[in-house]
Amino acid sequence: NTGDGDLHYRIRLFRPGFQDEFGYFWFDSDNPEGPEYDWLDITGVGRVVDFLHGNPDNGNTGPIDIGFDFQHYGNTFSSICICSNGWASFTDGTSTNSYNMPMPSTYAPNDLLAPFWTDLDPGAGGDVYYYTNNADTAIISWEGVYDSWEEGIFTFQIVLVAPDTIVYQYETMGPEGRIDRATIGMENGTGTVGLQVSRNEIYTYGQKAVEFYLGDPPGAFDWLSSDNDHGTILEGGSWDIAITCSAGDHSDGKYWGVINLYTNDPDSI
């Protein structure tokens, strides 16, 4: 450290797949390191959502209190809006867009959580429920909701876990109707950064979970490691940091990893 003060550093190791420019990425329950599917039934404790804008076929309501502060793409929100067409937004309480755009997209809605964005019709069957424990968990569930063709029935949910984790869960999906006519993903407030899990394909028939993280989950990739991922180097001092690549039991192939070094030094390193 040849500077005039202490140098604080942090090393971040991550794999680039399924990650957006902000730092969010997703895993699903098909991955050994992904979330476990654990359906949360709120039909007995939550309230049925009344759509104040539009109608149950194409309706939106909100803002509804989350019950705690939730961070999303660098912003903090305390309320959320819910659309009948399989999505929710932290800021858009009037759009009822049923056309499932690719994500990210600058077209409304933005600040978007889309567990199953398609043309749904709770008016034809099913209900949308909302629940918060007013501490650290809020849940929105589409329960037995018909699609606009009245051929598929879908039960899925959004789970918000403070401060910034998002889980989509799918109990039963389809199996007919618009099962392959939906977008699954999320995006920021301008629609310029986001993650698309799938679009217009059969992603799941149910019993599945998708989790969006900010940062890397434990065990995301175990072949790249450092012996000291953060610390302080005093003025005039130095410190050796070992970065280790371990083949272990991995099979032959190409493995990609990214090493980011963050410091309080305004100059480039």
Per-residue pLDDT of 219-234, as tens digits, reads 556 788 888 888 898 8
Tell whether 201 and 248 lie within a shared domain: no
Tell whether 209 and 233 lie within a shared domain: no
Lowest mean pLDDT among 20-29, 80-89, 172-181: 20-29
CA atoms within 13 A on the CB side of 217: 17
Tell whether 200 and 223 lie within a shared domain: no
Residues 6+ apart with CB under 8 A from 74: 22
Tell whether 154 and 28 lie within a shared domain: yes
CB atoms within 10 A of CB 38: 10
Is residue 15 over pLDDT 50? yes
Per-residue pLDDT of 242-269, as tens digits, reads 998 887 777 776 565 778 888 888 775 5
- The structure's pTM equals 0.77
Average pLDDT, the chain: 90
* Type and span of the H or E element at 27: strand 24-28
Per-residue pLDDT of 61-104, as tens digits, reads 999 999 999 999 999 999 999 999 999 999 999 999 999 999 99
Q: What is the DSSP string of 207-250?
A: SEEEEEEESPPTTS-SSEEES--EEEE-TT------EEE--TTP
Quote the number of domains for the chain: 2
Query: What's the pLDDT score for residue 218?
Result: 45
- State how far the Cα of 121 lies from the Cα of 21, in Å rounded to an integer: 34
What is the domain extent for residue 76? 24-214
Is residue 43 over pLDDT 70? yes
Residue 41 lies in a domain: yes
- State how far the Cα of 47 lies from the Cα of 218, in Å rounded to an integer: 35
Tell whether 160 and 242 lie within a shared domain: no
Tell whether 227 and 162 lie within a shared domain: no
Tell whether 208 and 223 lie within a shared domain: no
Cβ–Cβ < 8 Å for 73, 188: yes
